Structure 1
């Protein structure tokens, strides 16, 4: 049996094609919903602070100031109506009692309908019927009549959903539709109501209702409260299915959390929809949240509905976990088989890999050495090119100068102008020519090593660094070490090039080494490490 299961998994693997799933808007909203569930208590605390402020305001209003007390009690009731059932009922009864002290019956009707609405949401259908029957409907018109008929329709609809049987539920649903139709015929629907109705009955010129994305954008771009968005999104979701329905229900559930609405139907419907789509883990999260909300608010009918669905989700989750456990064991067996095969292959190829790595290491080292040698040869070649060019250029200049002097001197001697010949020879200034030669040498050297002076100073103590005068390229000390960097390391050769004595060269070198940050024996090596720059 185990072997058959293994083959049942292995064979499809050969036909699998990678699929790149595109994250839908519903999936993005689901991630937001999970984050909001983690911070749900923050919204509850905000709601409780708001309620506490209203209670403090109410306690500060005198008992005989009926209009102000009614206004604050209405606000307090609205906060409680979708938050806590018992507090909502208490405030509704206070509103009814206070309404009797005010002139006109509209306050009383509003208070009674508010109480009935909370009773309907909480599953107290008998009490809701009694409260609705107490409403004085004589002369009731306009918005009040519309709200009254909608309330009756909602009551019948909730009873039908709660019974959910083949006989009585049908009658209640028919009665609900009848009441909703009566309400709809009383007043012209607003723009918002017309837009909502388009989801169920497309308007003129439309063959199909707008897509769910239209309503998503519509709800977020209009001036609606979070509680209103949740109510409307839940209502519209009944016109759609699949991902569209998920998107709207998830949007509603998010806004229920943000408005601290505990009498919430959206999270329950979302859990049911996820269960139908076999997203059992997510469905279980929703149902747990819905059950917690029902317990928090005190919704008997919703708690009963949830408790009837939760065992089905739990049993499916158990089946999935058992299936996953079996798949895990099969995967372990497959892994062991593959590991054994790979182990033999590793044993066969291990020595070859080691040998290849060693050879690669040797090749890398040789390449590094070769690159270093090539770099030095190329640097030496470039330096020689520059120095040879300097040599020929200087020699050519001196030969030309000597030729001019020779001709002038011979000419004056032939004419017997010995004094003029002597003057011509005296115009040859050897010292000036040396300075010019050194200047040319400095210029060529700094072309090859533009950072030489700064690199040289970096080897010296801060108070001993060399500062060049204006127009000066290299000092005598720098010129000695410049020749060393060019590869002229013999002290006598340096002395002859610069027209110094050997002792003078030794003295300059010793002074610089004494000022260095590095040991004297390492100073010349550091000079040789100054980087060569080829500017071509």
Structure 2
């Protein structure tokens, strides 16, 4: 009933205006849910906290297993690192109990973790080490369906033959195995059937997934998954309107269920980009990147980073085109104004005496003086506005230091050229770009964003050093260059060239800083960066 009411509300919202399309209306709903997502995340955290409290008071290993399993279920589509920890705990307890049913359940947990984080080799290793002969039919169905999904994911990420065909065949085989242990009337059975029908037509697949959405008892997470499938299928048909609608619906449901292991926002951004809505595409791809970073799904990050620069570059191109159009308009207006003034001067010289001409010229000079004062005011406002825009653009692309290098080169080439903005009657505008300040702004944003992700980084970093060598910051929110180097390493950026470009240092300086820091540590040099990578994110 809750799902039905939700869908009815969305349908009513979609029909509320004749001037809006169905996809436009649901995007308004999505924007509202994005603003409220902290509410759903807080509810998720409260459930997890209560489960952890129950786990703390648990006595028997059996109770501990099931409580750890419940905590894992809360984390599995929410945060990979924590999900993996609790999946590992279920495996440890199940091995201690020597209970094959629980061991297979724990292996299913680990299998899901590895699939969701893109660790496909580790997922295959789990399959190769799992024996399900003596477990319940229900657990067999869960296990086989996860195996089918793994090989279907491998099909999507590997287009080379003969591997693709081999993965398809294995996925179908596992689907068949799962179907043997499911009721034909169940949602799970029909979902596996839809997954298995790889060679069906697009229209047949749309019909199947549409029927799944309307099944009684389907929860919001299942609805989100099937809406995402429908969005992709409609995109294959070049039906962008329905593709955007269903992908937005999936994104809404992901937010409501606090699901961050998802592709819906990435696909939505990609579809909106194809539709020409670059502004919304840019916003949703940034949110998708936030989700991927929060969940720590590497293959999702790679997928996002393949489209994010394209979308952002298009947005920058749109800004440049608008700027060029304004420049042309202002140039024409300025030329016409000058011609008009010239005609006035000629006319005054012809009809007035020299004294009158001087007076008129003086009057014109007075007017020009007022105009210049207004122009200076507008210039100041426009410069301030431009700095804010530049800062926003740079912050949205702080992970792409190559773009900063291009921007630096661009401003050097355009140093003596006129820059026009959005105000009328402006002839020319010179923008002074303070690169040093911008880099400091980037570093400040980077420090702030990084410390939000890793609030205990400085403390954990100092644990690697004796007390007298530990770093003390004057400002707890501003990192030193040495700390930024290892912060970038913690984020997975290991190439000294990339670190040097981002920090505006030489590669040799990076080597020197790293060597100096490692020499002071109580950890062996060859293990130091491994210890850095073990520093955990904040929960």
TM-score normalized with structure 2 length: 0.52
In structure 2, the CA distance between the partners of 1:277 and 1:195, relative to structure 1 (3 Å rule), is farther
- How far apart, CA to CA, are the structure 2 residues paired with 1:86 and 1:26? 35
Residue 69 of structure 2 corresponds to 74
In structure 2, the CA distance between the partners of 1:151 and 1:329, relative to structure 1 (3 Å rule), is same
Residue 234 of structure 2 corresponds to 240
- How far apart, CA to CA, are the structure 1 residues paired with 2:30 and 2:87? 32
Residue 128 of structure 1 corresponds to 123
1:185-223, Cα deviation, whole Å (9 max, x unpaired): 553433545776898999xxxx966989x949x858954
Structure 2 residue 86 is the aligned partner of structure 1 residue 91: yes
Structure 2 residue 153 is the aligned partner of structure 1 residue 158: yes
Residue 23 of structure 1 corresponds to 20
Query: Residue 201 of structure 1 contacts residue 209 of structure 1 at CA under 8 Å; is this kept in 2?
Result: no
**Cα root mean square deviation, aligned:** 3.8
Structure 1 residue corresponding to 2:224, chosen from 221, 225, 230:
230
Structure 2 residue 260 is the aligned partner of structure 1 residue 262: yes
Runs of at least 5 residues in structure 1 that lack an aligned partner in the other structure: 1-19, 341-536
- How far apart, CA to CA, are the structure 2 residues paired with 1:321 and 1:165? 39
Structure 1 residue corresponding to 2:44, chosen from 35, 44, 47:
47
- How far apart, CA to CA, are the structure 2 residues paired with 1:339 and 1:39? 51
Larger radius of gyration between Structure 1 and Structure 2: 1
Residue 275 of structure 1 corresponds to 273
**What are the equivalent positions in structure 2 for 1:142-291 lying under 5 Å apart?**
142-165=137-160, 168-184=163-179, 186-192=181-187, 215=210, 219=213, 222-241=216-235, 242-291=240-289
Give 3-state SS (helix, strand or coil) of 1:238's partner. Answer: helix
- How far apart, CA to CA, are the structure 2 residues paired with 1:102 and 1:227? 32
1:382-412, Cα deviation, whole Å (9 max, x unpaired): xxxxxxxxxxxxxxxxxxxxxxxxxxxxxxx
Give 3-state SS (helix, strand or coil) of 1:267's partner. Answer: helix
Query: Residue 175 of structure 2 contacts residue 196 of structure 2 at CA under 8 Å; is this kept in 1?
Result: no
Query: Residue 175 of structure 2 contacts residue 193 of structure 2 at CA under 8 Å; is this kept in 1?
Result: no
Query: Residue 199 of structure 1 contacts residue 236 of structure 1 at CA under 8 Å; is this kept in 2?
Result: no
- How far apart, CA to CA, are the structure 1 residues paired with 2:337 and 2:188? 65
Tell me the CA shift for residue 150 of structure 1.
1.8
Tell me the CA shift for residue 106 of structure 1.
1.5
Query: Residue 199 of structure 1 contacts residue 209 of structure 1 at CA under 8 Å; is this kept in 2?
Result: no
In structure 2, the CA distance between the partners of 1:190 and 1:283, relative to structure 1 (3 Å rule), is farther
Residue 413 of structure 2 corresponds to none
Give 3-state SS (helix, strand or coil) of 1:137's partner. Answer: coil
Residue 401 of structure 1 corresponds to none
Residue 114 of structure 1 corresponds to 109
1:500-519, Cα deviation, whole Å (9 max, x unpaired): xxxxxxxxxxxxxxxxxxxx
Tell me the CA shift for residue 268 of structure 1.
1.6
Tell me the CA shift for residue 108 of structure 1.
1.4
In structure 2, the CA distance between the partners of 1:226 and 1:338, relative to structure 1 (3 Å rule), is farther
In structure 2, the CA distance between the partners of 1:338 and 1:37, relative to structure 1 (3 Å rule), is farther
Runs of at least 5 residues in structure 2 that lack an aligned partner in the other structure: 1-16, 339-539
Query: Residue 227 of structure 1 contacts residue 255 of structure 1 at CA under 8 Å; is this kept in 2?
Result: yes
Tell me the CA shift for residue 102 of structure 1.
4.2
TM-score normalized with structure 1 length: 0.52
1:317-376, Cα deviation, whole Å (9 max, x unpaired): 222222232334456578899999xxxxxxxxxxxxxxxxxxxxxxxxxxxxxxxxxxxx
Residue 38 of structure 1 corresponds to 35
Give 3-state SS (helix, strand or coil) of 1:239's partner. Answer: helix
In structure 2, the CA distance between the partners of 1:250 and 1:82, relative to structure 1 (3 Å rule), is same
Query: How many residues are aligned here?
Result: 317
- How far apart, CA to CA, are the structure 1 residues paired with 2:132 and 2:216? 34
1:10-39, Cα deviation, whole Å (9 max, x unpaired): xxxxxxxxxx96323322111111122223
Query: Residue 162 of structure 1 contacts residue 305 of structure 1 at CA under 8 Å; is this kept in 2?
Result: no
Deviates more, 1:242-251 or 1:231-240: 231-240
